[in-house]
Structure 1
Amino acid sequence: MSRSNVRKSKSLGFTLVELLVVIAIIGVLIALLLPAVQQAREAARRMSCQANLKQIGIALHNYHDVYGSFPPGGFRYMGPSPSSTNENTAFGATSHSFLVAILPQVEFSAMADNFNHIQGWRGRPNRRVVTTVPPVYQCPSAPLTLSDHTDETIIDDDDNVLGQMFAGHYVGNMGPIGPGYTLFCKKNSDSGSAPNCDSFNEVSDQGVLGANSKNAFRDITDGTSNTIMVGELSTNEYPTGAAAPRAWSRGCADHSCGMAKNVKFGINIQGFVSGNFNNMSFSSMHPGGTHVLMTDSSVHFVSENINMDVYLAIASRNGSEVASLE
């Protein structure tokens, strides 16, 4: 082999320095690409979340067409009381959420037919029914898909615990809490006594989906495009317990609610103290804010920097405020 051929064969390889430079360039390109990929994925999840709320809005409108009003955020069975030995005599256990009421409108009629309204959301028959969750009830950006509450479990026919019930990420708007707004404080139908509103962290009386409410379009005097009907609650920032995601079928008692909330704190603000299960902040894993469904079925992204007076105003259905998201 000639000397020139030897030189050519040696020149075909990479030096260690050249290899390290190539690896460094690839690393930089990956570092630049990953955030873009993550942003694209979040954008897709955000669009899916918006579509979920839109479908829930259409379902609520269809429910209104059938029954002449919107369902309550949580509704209680008002017939004969279950047996005193039944676990469902516990406060609020005979209730269901508005998400149960609109099951036929989100194409889960078979599940709706199997719900036992006398037993309530956590009765044994219903805990056997809720072995899944309609996909439209969960935000794809939310990491917490199951309830962490010990009484929110799925059981089989032999009462064996199979796992936790599925959480819901969209809650009804019970209304604003603040100066000038009214509270819902009727007698406790379980005990016949007049409860202290503060001991139940207050329940607003000016939202669209309240406790045992039956509001119709005629009751939304502030305008359907200016009034929140459903908000997102899908963050993982809340501590476990009463503030963590609740079972999607959990309704309201007279003064406590699972899948309907007051508007008292700003967007993405915890505002949590022990037992503060009604006064939860609409919140999400979407950067900078959260989605809300207005009563006209439009979906908006609300900034976490929204003015609090505006926020409370659009949470009220009949406060006569001049406020909108536009």
Structure 2
Amino acid sequence: MRHLKGFTLVELLVVIAIIGVLIALLLPAVQQAREAARRMQCSNNLKQIGIAVHNYHDVYGKFPSAMMLDQARLAVSSCPEGKCGTWTWTAFLLPQVEQDNLYDLLQVGILPGEVSLGDATRLAAAKEGFDGYRCPSASGPDQNTERKVPSGSGDSSADCTGSGCDAIALANYVGANDSNTLDRDNWNGFMAKDTKRRVFTFADMIDGTSNTIAIGERAYKLANRTLRAGTQLVANGDTANHSRQGHSYITAGGRWPINCTNSQDCDRGFSSNHPGGAQFLFVDGSVHFLPETIDHDTDSAVDSVYEYLICKDDGNPIGEY
């Protein structure tokens, strides 16, 4: 009688076990390789933003403001949250990142932000945004439902949660505002709003462009904490009567440690979905990964390495980070 050869049950189980071990060994390596590629793309995004910031300075003789308030309206009233939409640094840089068509369509700086978004075509474009303002490693929706902005008539609530507000494109990059909390009047970092026509140039980077953070990352969600990321193009209004709503959409402070998740106010700091830290664009155009363990404290004094890097003119030696 002819006998057919084949695998025994034991041999089959051994093969399956070997395959399982190989998958267990290779899967983390594959995931690490994918994250390395995403982190590299994020770094490239920041480098392109850095080139855009320098080109903006070449054209206008200054760095972009974090947000542009409607100066005529501000002179007679205010720019209240829920009603007023402010143009932001991501909008001002559109021509420098080869997004001239979007810049022209939105009429950046010509129309108030909420008026521009009151048009259906412009609103759709703002919802689409620009991919270069998103980190490939980041989670979160395409439109930032956590930070809505006024469109058309706006809404009566400061948080802009009603029908007159819309979610537009999410951003994972925010400007460095102050070494401590967010500050609308006397910030010591790279950018803030231009209420007093206060703008900075290379000459203002007293500590050196290679020692000063310009822009960093913010995640939408990290661990169990919703950090809300930022918005592209337009932010909510910003007045002294509320908790700097608009500022928190587009800038960050150094009071909160990198990847902070222990407070609801962590959504005003820097964070990322990269393991162990976040990436930062420095004023000289270089990009650095700063670890969560960087020297940091929460008091108002500029007395830690993290704060030294955010403050543009503290005069302290940086050392290793």
Shorter-normalised TM range: 0.7 to 0.9
Q: Which runs of 5+ in 2 are unaligned?
A: 153-162, 297-303
Partner SS, residue 293 of structure 1? strand
Counterpart in 2 of 1:47?
40
Instruction: Check 1:206–1:262 CA distance in 2 against 1; reply closer, same or farther (3 A cut).
Output: same
How many residue pairs get aligned? The number is: 286
Q: Distance in 1 between matches of 2:173 and 2:124?
A: 22
State whether structure 2 residue 129 is matched by structure 1 residue 136: no
1:106 maps onto 2:88 in alignment: no
Do the aligned residues in 1 keep the contact of 2:56 with 2:93 (CA within 8 Å)? yes
Deviation at 1:261, TM superposition (A): 1.5
Q: CA RMSD in A?
A: 3.0
Matched, 1:211 2:199: no
Task: Show CA shifts across 1:173-216 (max 9, x none).
Answer: 002117xxx9544xxxxxxxxxxxxxxxxxx6111111224111
Q: CA deviation at 1:115?
A: 1.9
What does the per-residue CA deviation read over 1:37-86, in whole Å, with 9 as the maximum and x for residues that have no partner?
Answer: 100000000000000000000000000000000011122121246999xx
- Cα distance between partner residues in 2 of 1:248 and 1:226: 26
Q: 1:50 to 1:262 in 2, by over 3 A?
A: same
Are the counterparts in 1 of residues 126 and 168 from structure 2 also a CA contact under 8 Å?
A: yes
Q: Tell me the distance in 2 between the aligned counterparts of 1:83 and 1:176.
A: 32
Q: Secondary structure at the match of 2:11?
A: helix
Judge conservation of contact 1:128–1:154 (CA < 8 Å) in 2: no
Post-superposition offset of 1:143: 1.2
Residues 265 and 271 of structure 1 are in contact (CA less than 8 Å); yes or no, is this contact kept in structure 2? no
Partner of residue 14, structure 1: 7
Asked whether the 8 Å contact 2:147–2:230 carries over to 1, the reply is no
Partner of 2:232: 248
| 1:310 alignment partner, one of 270, 281, 305 | 305
Partner of 2:144: 147
Query: Sequence identity, in percent?
Result: 36
Among candidates 59, 68, 76, match of residue 75 of structure 1: 68
Aligned to 1:170: 173
| Rounded Cα–Cα distance in structure 2 between residues aligned with 1:27 and 1:109 | 51
TM-score, length basis structure 1? 0.78
Q: 2 CA distance for matches of 1:210 and 1:121? A: 20
**Which amino acid in structure 1 is aligned with residue 131 of structure 2?**
P
1:223 aligns with 2:216: no
Q: Secondary structure at the match of 2:288?
A: strand
Distance 1:94 1:244 in 2: 18
Q: Which residue of 2 aligns with 1:32?
A: 25
List runs of 5+ in structure 1 lacking aligned partners: 186-203
Q: Give the 3-state SS of the residue equivalent to 2:87 in structure 1.
A: strand
- Give the CA deviation at 1:289: 0.6
Q: Considering only CA atoms, is the larger Rg found in Structure 1 or Structure 2?
A: 1
Describe the shift of the 1:253–1:263 C-alpha distance in structure 2 as closer, same or farther (beyond 3 A). Answer: same
Return the TM-score normalized by structure 2.
0.80
Q: What is the CA distance between 1:260 and its match in structure 2?
A: 1.1
Deviation at 1:271, TM superposition (A): 4.9
SS in 2 for 1:229: strand
- Which amino acid in structure 1 is aligned with residue 170 of structure 2? A
